[in-house]
Amino acid sequence: MSSTQVHPMAIVHPGARLGERCRIGPFSVVGDQVQLGAGCELVSHVVIQGDTEVGEECRFFPFSSVGLEPQDLKYHGERTRVRIGSHNLFRECCTVHSGTAGGGGVTSIGDRCDTVFANAATLAGHVVVENFAVIGAFSGVHQFCRIGAYAYIGGYSVITQDALPYILTVGNRARAFGINVIGLKRRAFPEQTLNALKRAYRLLFQSKLTTSRALEQMEQEMGEVQEVVYLASFIKATERGIIK
């Protein structure tokens, strides 16, 4: 006998596939193409529709909406998907739309995402958010921007270019305000690494060097520091430019 529990006031389409130990709370709706991994919980009033696959042990709090049509005006009904990994938490009123053809047709969320989206933090289309980033309340991220790993985006910020990894970025329009020291210390970054990142920041933004020359200097001085190498590669890969 399956250990999955479906509240009598929930609606689960017969075509939906629910893993073992799933719990579907009252007033939740699960569509016919949805796959939920083992141990997922829909607390109550959750809607999951469309071609949506969710990994194991994910929790969805009330009024979460997942897998419905994207808000992109270029969307014309083509089949797109949502793919969510395991061990993720979606708090109240969180919205995850299906992908768009222009973005590869899929909205993708990895396993055990340690990113934090505070209340009303909003991503436009085609945005990439890397591991351990924090996006503050009521902040908005423009289309095609990237948020680097361990970046901290302060509340009410407007991000129109790539936000650098390890950096505190705040404002409308946003500016870089130094290394995210508190966040990195909480993640147990060693002092040597913090010092290297501070030096890299000074070369990029407080010296009179051009960006390309600053990158060369960073690689010459700190090419053995993995975090500095990643920071440099992130900058080189930018298409919208970086927030300075």
Every domain range in the chain assigned CATH 2.160.10.10: 1-113
Residues of the chain with CATH 1.20.1180.10: 116-244
Strand ranges of the sheet holding 140-141, from the earlier edge strand across to the other edge: 122-123, 140-141, 158-159
Enumerate residue ranges in the chain where pLDDT < 70: 1-2
The whole-number pLDDT of residue 102 equals 84
Query: What superfamily would CATH give domain 116-244?
Result: Udp N-acetylglucosamine O-acyltransferase, C-terminal domain (1.20.1180.10)
**What does the alpha-carbon distance between residue 99 and residue 37 come to, in Å, rounded to a whole number?**
20
**pLDDT at residue number 125:** 84
pTM above 0.75, yes or no: yes
Task: Return the sign of the alpha-carbon dihedral for residues 182, 133, 162, 153.
Answer: negative
For residue 159, what pLDDT is reported? 98
Instruction: Please give the CATH number for the structural domain made up of 1-113.
Output: 2.160.10.10
pLDDT of res. 175: 97
What per-residue confidence (pLDDT) applies to 74? 87
Are 243 and 174 in contact by the 8 Å Cβ rule? The answer is yes
Integer Cα distance of 58 and 109 in angstroms: 12
pLDDT recorded at residue 1: 41
**Residue 60 · residue 84 · CB < 8 Å:** no
